[in-house]
Amino acid sequence: MQSEYSFLKDELALQEIRKHKWIESEKLGQEIGFATAAVDWVNKYGNDFTQYRNKLIQTNAAFYERRKYRRYATGIPVELEINEHSYCSIAKDISLIGFSSLISNHYPVDSSVSVTMDIKLKGSQTRSTKFQFYSQILRINDPVDDAANLCFNVFIPFTENFREFLRTHLPFARH
């Protein structure tokens, strides 16, 4: 019996499919299509993914990155604008999927976010560029006590254009 789960409506599954597409394209030395990558990913990993999501969806444990080598140990200054409120923060736990950051207010998941990052370019100690993109809050965790302030840890996914920018311009993207 076929699963009723729609991978194409799940942002995390879509990101995994895009990552699979990129990996398989690199292996083959040529670009494979999204549909081909999606079918291949669902056949190889779909069952495990749905079991994992169904088992952990009620807890925050599903969102914790367990593969530490996929994160980059760097902090990038970030400006977030959510519902006409501005926050200056540091992007932490940066991966090619997105980043987490601390903010002082709670917002619903899927709230629109304007993100501006000040990024140092590869090969330059002083030159940087401000990159702006629009996204949404993918998850927000319970408040944490950060130096006597109550803060919420939010995870914000990158857009495809910004992921490509990271792959080609950041010094930590190809280690």
pLDDT at position 106 is: 87
Q: Do residues 116 and 79 touch, judged by C-beta distance below 8 A?
A: yes
CATH classification of the domain holding 123: 2.40.10.220
Which has more pLDDT, 102 or 125? 102
- 172 has a pLDDT exceeding 70: no
> What secondary structure letter does DSSP report for 97?
S
Q: Do residues 90 and 101 touch, judged by C-beta distance below 8 A?
A: yes
Domain hosting residue 80, numbered range: 69-169
- 129 has a pLDDT exceeding 80: no
Kindly report whether the global pTM for this prediction surpasses the value 0.85: no
Residues contacting residue 161 through CB under 8 Å, at least 6 positions apart: 133
Is residue 28 located within the same domain as residue 97?
no
pLDDT at position 162 is: 82
Residue 175 lies in a domain: no
